[in-house]
Structure 1
Amino acid sequence: MRAVVTGAAGFIGSHLCAHLLSQGDDVVGIDALTDFYPSTRKHRNLAGLVGHERFAFHYGDLLRLRLEPLFTQADAVYHLAGQPGVRGSWGDRFALYLERNVLVTQRVLEAARDTRLPRLVFASSSSVYGDAETCPTPETVRPRPVSPYGVTKLAAEQLCETYRTVFGVPTASLRLFSVYGPRQRPDMAFARLIEAAREGRPFPLYGDGGQSRDFTYVGDVVTAMRAAGRSSWTGVANLGGGSEVTMRQAIAVLGELGCPVRVVAGPSRPGDARRTSADITLARQAFGYRPGTDLRSGLASMVRGVPTPARPGSTR
Structure 2
Amino acid sequence: MGTARHVKHAVVTGAAGFIGSHLVESLLRQGVTVLGVDRRSPGDNAIAAENLGGVLGHPGFRLVQGDLVTDELKPWVDGADTVFHLAAVPGVRPSWGDTFGEYLACNVLATQRLLNTCVSLGVERLVLASSSSVYGDCTGPLREDGVTAPQSPYGVTKLAAERLALAYALAPDSPISVVALRYFTVYGPRQRPDMAIGRMLRGVLTGTPLHLYGDGHQRRDFTFVADAVAATVAAATAEATAEAVNVGGGDSVSVLDVLRRVGEITGAEVPVLDGAYQPGDVQVTEADLTKARTVLGYRPSVTLTEGIEHHWKWLSARTPTADSPVTVTE
TM range (shorter): over 0.9
Q: Match for residue 2 of structure 1?
A: 9
Q: Which has the larger radius of gyration?
A: 2
CA distance in structure 2 between the partners assigned to 1:251 and 1:33 by the alignment: 33
For residues 223 and 209 of structure 2, the distance between their equivalents in structure 1, rounded to whole angstroms, comes to: 25
Of 301, 306, 313, 2:310 maps to 301
Tell me if the contact between 1:233 and 1:287 (Cα under 8 Å) persists in the aligned partners. Answer: no
Q: Provide the TM-score with structure 1 as the length reference.
A: 0.93
Aligned to 1:260: 269
Cα separation, 2, equivalents of 1:279 and 1:268 = 26
The range that moved more, 56-65 or 245-254, is: 56-65
**What does residue 59 of structure 2 align with?**
53
**1:110 maps to what in 2?**
116
Task: Report 1:165-176 matches (<5 A).
Answer: 165-167=170-172, 168=174, 169-176=176-183
Measure how far apart 1:70 and its partner are. Answer: 2.5
The one-letter code of the counterpart of 1:295 is L
Q: Report the count of equivalent residues.
A: 302
Aligned counterparts of 2:187 and 2:151: Cα–Cα separation in 1: 22
Task: State the distance in 2 between where 1:33 and 1:273 align.
Answer: 31
**Structure 1 residue 130: Cα displacement:** 0.8
SS in 2 for 1:293: coil
Amino acid at match of 1:65: D
What corresponds to 2:26 in structure 1?
19
8 Å contact kept, 1:172–1:228? yes
Distance 2:88 2:45 in 1: 15
What secondary structure, in the 3-state scheme, does the structure 1 residue paired with 2:49 have?
A: helix
Match in the other structure for 2:3: none
Q: Distance in 1 between matches of 2:309 and 2:205?
A: 14
Shift of 1:69: 2.8
Specify the SS of the correspondent of 2:256. Answer: helix
Structure 1 distance, partners of 2:132, 2:302, is: 19
CA RMSD of aligned residues (A): 1.4
Which range is displaced more, 160-169 or 20-29? Answer: 160-169
Query: For 2:310 and 2:14, how far apart are their aligned partners in 1?
Result: 23
Q: Find the counterpart in structure 2 of residue 151 from structure 1.
A: 156
> What's the % identity of the aligned pairs?
48
Aligned partner of 2:254 in structure 1 is: 246
The separation in 2 between residues aligned to 1:158 and 1:201, in whole angstroms, is 40
Extract structure 1 runs of 4+ deviating beyond 4 A: none
* Deviation digits for residues 219-269 of structure 1 (CA, Å, limit 9, x no counterpart): 011111111101221311100100011000001111011152022222210
For the residue of structure 2 that corresponds to 1:58, the secondary structure is strand
DSSP 3-state at the match of 1:96: helix
The match for 1:63 among 58, 69, 76 is 69
Q: Secondary structure at the match of 1:47?
A: coil
Q: Look up the match of 1:310.
A: none
Distance of 2:121 and 2:40 partners within structure 1: 26
| 1:198-209 alignment, distance < 5 Å | 198-209=205-216
Cα pair 1:203 1:264 within 8 Å, conserved: yes
Cα offset for 1:148?
0.2
Match of residue 95 from structure 2: 89
Query: What is the distance in 2 between the residues matched to 1:156 and 1:137?
Result: 19
Residue 279, structure 1, aligned to residue 288, structure 2: yes
Aligned to 1:309: none
Aligned counterpart in structure 2 of residue 177 of structure 1, from 184, 189, 210: 184
CA distance in 1, matches of 2:155, 2:131: 7
Kept in 2: contact 1:197–1:260 (CA 8 A): yes
